Amino acid sequence: MDPVNVAVIVKMEPDFSEGNVSYNPDGTLNRAETKNILGPHSAIAVNAAFYAKIKHGAKISICTMGPPVAESMLQHSQLMSDADELYLYSDRIFAGADTLATAEVLKSGILKMQGKMDIVFSGHRASDGETGQTGPQTAWKLGMTFLGNVIDYEIDPESRTIRVKRLVRLQGIYDVVEEVEAPLPVFIAIDPSYKPKFNTVSQRLAYEKYQKEARQRSQDFKQYLKVLNAAQIEADPKLIGISGSPTIVYKVERIPKGKATRQAEIIDGSDQEQIRRIVAKMRQSLSTMVIK
Amino acid sequence: MEKYDVAIIGGGSAGLAALKRLSTLGKQAVLFEAGEKIGSKNISGGILYSKKPKNGKTHNVEDIYENFLTDRPYERKITKYVLHATSKDKIFSIDLTAAHEYEANFGCSVLMSKLNQWFLQQAQETAEKQGGGVVSGVHVKDIRWEEGQTIVQTNELEEVAAKAIIAADGVNSEIAYMTGARQKFSPNQLYQGVKVVVKLPEEIMNERFSIGEDEGAAHLFAGDVTMDHIGGGFLYTNRDTLSVGAVYHLDSLLETPVEPYELVNTLLRNPMISDLIRDEVPVRGEIDKNLAKEEQMRIRFAVTKIIKTWTEMREAYYSKGERERLVREGKYSAPEEMEAQLSSIRDQMSTKYGMKFETDYVEAEYSAKLVPDGKRCRMEKPYFKNILFAGDAAGRGIFVGPRIEGLNVGIDDAVRAADAVARALDKNNFDENYLGQYYSQSVEESPYTHDLKSIDKDYLKIFLDAAKDVPKDIINSKYGMVVKMMSSKTLRNFAVGFANILGYEKILPIIETVETYVRVPTELAERLGKSVSSSYTPTIPSIAQRVAKLKFNDDSVSHIKVLKPTSEFMKKMTVLCPTRCYLMEKNGVMIQHEGCVECGTCAEETEWSHPRGEKGINYQFG
Ligand SMILES: Cc1cc2nc3c(=O)[nH]c(=O)nc-3n(C[C@H](O)[C@H](O)[C@H](O)COP(=O)(O)OP(=O)(O)OC[C@H]3O[C@@H](n4cnc5c(N)ncnc54)[C@H](O)[C@@H]3O)c2cc1C
Ligand code: SF4
């Protein structure tokens, strides 16, 4: 049985927590002064990868595209996940990349990683003006099955399949859980509500063990870090940086789950008849739903 | 279901010693601890002893943890041990250092949160090598036997099977209640301990207590500070904190209930103690109300920050180790630079923020727990099926004179339990008569069990010798004969022999009385004591303030259920709960579990369990 091989794409973001943000006099973000950290959504993706390590001893490779200072964020990711390899794709020609050009860099980088990836994780989106497109675009470029809004997953290393739970919206009802099975490899964009559950003693012991290893490793993280430029990952110059960016972001909206078509109806809880009616309605709408 | 060779329940000093020993013997063991992390639920007085008994051998802390004496995870070696009889401002002191040193390699002050963390570090690696380890934040809620397997059920994780279990889950052992291995301890078998940790910079402490860097002092108190209860007070020096506490027989507290914190407060207000704990404390100045709201806020914030900076820096400055470290690491060029900076911060505090410096004391943590009185409650058969009970769970606390021994006893038990389990694993035989009885026998042979059954005449003699100058007429007729004996050397020897013939059961009602703990010392102090005074009156926090300072992980569900809201016992809990969790309502007593420190005082008449994993009290000092 081959070991499970996972990669995570992460993003450095300004620290938006209180007291850490710095603004220019005109009210725009002062990027140079604001502390940079691992983005919160990326952190969840890192957590999700750590789960694979605890359950299956997976090998974890974490990568990002960014300036040299991003290495401290990779160090932090390693502390969180006991990552085996860290990759920083850094090159002046990456500057000005939009999501598509970023995806190209990440794709090239992932293809250069050791061994074939079984799962690539990404965050749901970034918090600093991103569109939630990098993940899906990277998946598309890698030719991997994309699974978004994943809140839980289990790998079967023998049959090389994965079962995931996704949070979806169905017939106007939010937060319906859909269960999907797919052959590996897959690309997973992890949902913000993902929380790894360690509910056996062996997982908890493995958790302790890997955490300790992670503390040691992240102390000399440079030993695990490779800083690569465009040539080293063999990225196509036409598809990266400004020249590979067909879009500019002018406005960001929440990642849509589709328009709400719900209509609220207020029920008087003390009225038996009203309650009965609403229960019947709930049954009716639930019966049309296919939930596994 | 996952299977492990041994499950250890409870990660106090006893459970951790069992884990260390088993792993060292090459056995696989998993330890379950309910607290969020190891050490978060454990408190002690406490002086940890290493013993050298005349007969037999104890397993001492430094035998189990080979780095104990070099790493020094303890606070200070106690080198001075004094008993004080109190009456108002009068104190009569008796030096009992000889009693403290009796049969001891050393006795050192400890804080459990730090010490248990260190124990964990020492045990973890070897445990992991054997495929075991520690899982914290996991509360064991049931054990059952099914098809030849022993199954451990927790609130948090999937069930596991184990071949043998070591229950080191403390004085309120749920494992003991649920299996029926023993009854809940009753109030006449228990002491209630309540403690506050007080801050005092290291070198100020050295000077005040006339102790060197690795020396320490223990002061014990009896007399009017007991508020007429059987028990007494203590003050131990830690490295840069003091432990001040009161330990009283629960029976005696139930008879004439008094708020546990009042018993501690009385100690703190005693002029001798007030004076020992005093420190320089910054007091915030008034903030000009006419300033803009934001400006007021900013000042308040800045003041908090500067107090913190000053306090931390002062603590470091008054610690030789810290001072040297900071200079070595280049933070300061020399100690003088620290001193200069410290005084400049101090100036800023008074000139810029209008702060004053007063003499007061600084309380860091309030805590409480029951202590088993092993003479009255030790489990004679500390096992049930393939479960072995160790430490407080088996009711093994020794009270001899003012000395409390629970930590060392628990470690010794744990080693014996671990050895018994290792032997059973080798033979794959976990029958009661192979495992349980073997352990029981080993515990029976422990010098500690001897101490729980009979009075050590040499030890008693030290006391009698120390008290030989006590005027005979102070002690009333009940002690007449004893006193007469005490005044003569030959008769002193005889008194000891006499005490042993009578044995503990007969002699306890004579010695453990209000007479011994209150009247005699009070009169001693009045007649022979020196007047002491304190230059200030300590500002003692209210119980609400103390609880507010503690860290809790709140659980919406209560871990305690009141069964008899109108019983006499429960009514007394409105007074005896150390954190005032019980309220008197129309229909009887009601609990507010949010402030519970899990001391166990109310366990007798409630459905009592520890909170679920990670929930409840989270001590920082212990
Ligand atoms: C005020 C005071 C002063 C004292 N002074 C001294 C002294 O000077 N010298 C001395 O030697 N002793 C002293 N003692 C006694 C000493 O502190 C105790 O004997 C000792 O701490 C007991 O250790 P233990 O490991 O047996 O139990 P504990 O330290 O109580 O540990 C039990 C552990 O089990 C865990 N647990 C309980 N139930 C479960 C469950 N169901 N699942 C998972 N985990 C669970 C608890 O969270 C806890 O961590 C004093 C005690 C007090 C209160
Ligand atoms: S509620 Fe009971 S166990 Fe909790 S602190 Fe009060 S007396 Fe102790």
Which residue type is seen at B568? E
Beta partners for B91?
B86, B530
User: What is the separation of C-alpha A195 from the centre of its chain, rounded to a whole number of angstroms?
Assistant: 13
Contacts of B30 in chain A (CB under 8 A): 201, 205
Q: Which two tokens stand for residue A272?
A: 């038996």
Average pLDDT over residues B9-35: 98
| Other Cβ atoms within 10 Å of A271 Cβ, number | 10
Rounded to whole angstroms, the Cα distance separating A76 from A71 reads 9
Per-residue pLDDT tens digits for A18-42: 666 667 666 666 766 777 889 999 9
Is the four-CA dihedral A144, A145, A150, A152 of positive or negative sign?
negative
Average pLDDT over residues B309-317: 96
Flag whether residue A287 sits within 8 Å of chain B, measured between CB atoms. Answer: no
Query: Which of A46, A71, A44, A43 is closest to A61 using CA atoms?
Result: A46
Atom of ligand 1 nearest to the CA of B42: 29
pLDDT confidence of residue A126: 65
Rounded to whole angstroms, the Cα distance separating A70 from A86 reads 11
Under the banding of pLDDT at 50, 70 and 90, the label for residue B484 is: low
Q: Does domain B550-617 have CATH number 3.30.70.20?
A: yes
Q: Is residue B327 over pLDDT 90?
A: yes
When CB atoms are compared, the residue of B2, B124, B128 closest to A201 is B2
- The DSSP element (H or E) to which B298 belongs, if any, is helix B293-317
Of residues B508 and B254, the one with the higher pLDDT is B254
Contacts of B71 by beta carbon, 8 Å cutoff, 6+ apart = B118
Is B4's CB within 8 Å of A200's CB? Answer: no
Residue A286 domain flag? no
Starting from the CA of residue B110, give the closest ligand: 1
**Is B600 close to ligand 2, i.e. is its CB under 6 Å away?**
yes
pLDDT confidence of residue B71: 97
DSSP state of B225: G
> Which A residues in the span 21-40 are in contact with B, Cβ-Cβ below 8 Å?
none
Ligand 1 center to B43 CA (angstroms): 6
Contacts of B510 by beta carbon, 8 Å cutoff, 6+ apart = B478
Distance from the B115 Cα atom to the nearest Cα atom in chain A, whole angstroms: 20
Average pLDDT over residues B500-528: 79
Of residues B607 and B463, the one with the higher pLDDT is B607
What SS3 class is residue B39?
coil
Contacts of B494 by beta carbon, 8 Å cutoff, 6+ apart = B485
Q: How far is CA B69 from CA B65, B106, B125, B268, in A?
A: 9, 11, 19, 32
- The pocket around ligand 1, CB under 6 angstroms, is made up of B 9-15, 32-35, 41-48, 139-140, 168-170, 174, 193, 195, 245, 247, 369, 371, 391-393, 397, 404-408, 410, 610
The interaxial angle of helices A71-81 and A40-56, nearest 10 deg, is 40
Q: Is residue B80 over pLDDT 60?
A: yes
**pLDDT, averaged across chain B:** 93
Contacts of B568 by beta carbon, 8 Å cutoff, 6+ apart = none
pLDDT confidence of residue A58: 96
pLDDT confidence of residue B463: 80
C-alpha angle B507/B267/B101, rounded to 5°?
55
Number of H helices, E strands in chain B: 24, 28
| Other Cβ atoms within 10 Å of A92 Cβ, number | 9
Q: What is the DSSP string of B498-543?
A: HHHHHHHHHHHHHHSSHIIIIIHHHHHHHHHPEE---SS---PPPH
Beta partners for B47?
B109
pLDDT confidence of residue A20: 66
- Least confidently predicted of B151-165, B167-181, B498-512: B498-512
Under the banding of pLDDT at 50, 70 and 90, the label for residue B181 is: very high
ipTM: 0.86
Report percent pLDDT > 90 for chain B. Answer: 86
Q: Is residue B596 over pLDDT 70?
A: yes
What SS3 class is residue B226?
helix
Q: Is residue B28 over pLDDT 60?
A: yes
pLDDT confidence of residue B33: 98
Is B158's CB within 8 Å of A202's CB? Answer: no
Rounded to whole angstroms, the Cα distance separating A28 from B64 reads 61
pLDDT confidence of residue B108: 98
Structural domain total, chain A:
1
Beta partners for B552?
B617
pLDDT confidence of residue B440: 98
**pLDDT, averaged across chain A:** 86
- The DSSP element (H or E) to which B570 belongs, if any, is helix B568-576
- The DSSP element (H or E) to which B211 belongs, if any, is none
Distance from the A51 Cα atom to the nearest Cα atom in chain B, whole angstroms: 16
pLDDT confidence of residue A258: 44
Starting from the CA of residue B570, give the closest ligand: 2
Q: Which two tokens stand for residue B588?
A: 């009887």
Q: Is residue A260 over pLDDT 50?
A: no
Is B157's CB within 8 Å of A199's CB? Answer: yes
Is B157's CB within 8 Å of A205's CB? Answer: no
| Other Cβ atoms within 10 Å of B214 Cβ, number | 13
Q: Which two tokens stand for residue B28?
A: 């696989």
Query: Which of B604, B596, B619 is closest to B569 using CA atoms?
Result: B604
Residue A26 domain flag? yes
Q: Is residue B150 over pLDDT 60?
A: yes
Under the banding of pLDDT at 50, 70 and 90, the label for residue A249 is: low
Pairing of strands B362-372, B190-199: antiparallel
pLDDT confidence of residue A15: 79
pLDDT confidence of residue A38: 92
User: From the candidates A55, A205, A210, which should be mutated to test the interface with B, based on the most B CB atoms within 10 A?
Assistant: A205
Extract the runs of DSSP E, i.e. beta strands, from B137-202. Answer: 140-146, 149-154, 160-167, 190-199
Residue by residue, what is the 3-state secondary structure of chain A?
CCCCEEEEECCEEECCCCCCCCECCCCCECCCCCCEEECHHHHHHHHHHHHHHHHHCCEEEEEEECCHHHHHHHHHHHHHHCCCEEEEECCHHHCCCCHHHHHHHHHHHHHHCCCCCCEEEECCCCCCCCCCCHHHHHHHHHCCEEEEEEEEEEEECCCCEEEEEEEEEECCEEEEEEEEEEECCEEEEECCCCCCCCCCHHHHHHHHHHHHHHHHHHHCHHHHEEEECCCCCCCCHHHCCHHHCCCCCCCCCCCCCCCCCCCCCCCCCCCHHHHHHHHHHHHHHHHCCCCC
pLDDT confidence of residue A124: 86
Per-residue pLDDT tens digits for A195-238: 988 999 999 999 999 999 999 999 999 999 999 999 999 999 89
pLDDT confidence of residue A252: 60
Q: Is residue A73 over pLDDT 70?
A: yes
Predicted TM-score (pTM) above 0.95: no
pLDDT confidence of residue B354: 93
List the residue whose alpha carbon is closest to atom 31 of ligand 1.
B12
Q: Is residue B569 over pLDDT 50?
A: yes
What SS3 class is residue B188?
helix
**Domain ranges for chain B:** 2-73+110-182+379-453, 282-360, 457-522, 550-617
Residue of B76, B135, B407 best suited for mutating to test ligand 1, as the one with most atoms within 8 Å of CB? B407
Q: Is residue B574 over pLDDT 90?
A: yes
pLDDT confidence of residue B511: 72
Phi-psi region at B614: left, alpha or beta (left = phi > 0; alpha = psi -120 to 50): left
Per-residue pLDDT tens digits for B418-432: 999 999 999 999 999
Starting from the CA of residue B405, give the closest ligand: 1
Q: Which two tokens stand for residue B484?
A: 């007469």
Query: Which of A152, A150, A148 is closest to A138 using CA atoms?
Result: A148
Is B133's CB within 8 Å of A199's CB? Answer: no
Is B2's CB within 8 Å of A200's CB? Answer: yes
Report percent pLDDT > 70 for chain A. Answer: 84
- Residue A81 structural domain: 5-244
pLDDT confidence of residue B99: 92
What CATH number is given to the structural domain containing A127? 3.40.50.620
- The DSSP element (H or E) to which B411 belongs, if any, is helix B407-427
Distance from the B160 Cα atom to the nearest Cα atom in chain A, whole angstroms: 8
Query: Which of B584, B590, B580 is closest to B258 using CA atoms?
Result: B580
Pick the CATH number of B2-73+110-182+379-453 from 3.90.1150.10, 3.50.50.60, 3.30.1660.40, 1.10.10.10: 3.50.50.60
Ligand 2 center to B580 CA (angstroms): 8
Determine contact, residues B501/B451, Cβ cutoff 8 Å. no
Rounded to whole angstroms, the Cα distance separating B192 from B252 reads 10
Contacts of A254 by beta carbon, 8 Å cutoff, 6+ apart = none
